[in-house]
Amino acid sequence: MINLIAVIIAIAGVLAALGHLGYLAMLNNAAGKRAGGTPIAQYVKTRWPIAAGTTAASLFAWLLTSGGTPLDIIAILLAAGSGITATKALQSTQQKYRSGN
């Protein structure tokens, strides 16, 4: 049962990290096409390490779910931590560049 919980949390962590990665990619693409988008592109460049790190950590956590119960517990902690970090980083970036408000 704990393995199922670990897998679900790991998948959620991967999805959160990939969401952040995808948002940064879209933001970078839009900044490249827009005149005056250089400051945004520079900001995105500083955020890539966070996105890559949380993605790698969550994928590693998912890999750990193939082990026993102790590894499942580690996977839960790692996936939850990386998912929360990715979500907060995504919200921070969205809030900085939110338009229409």
Domain ranges of the chain: 1-100
Is pLDDT above 50 for 101? Answer: no
Residues 6 or more apart whose CB falls under 8 angstroms from that of 70 comprise none
Averaged pLDDT, 64-84? 96
pLDDT: is 37 or 10 the higher one?
10
Q: What is the pLDDT of residues 55-71, one digit of tens each?
A: 999 999 999 999 899 99
Q: What is the pLDDT of residues 26-42, one digit of tens each?
A: 999 999 998 888 999 99
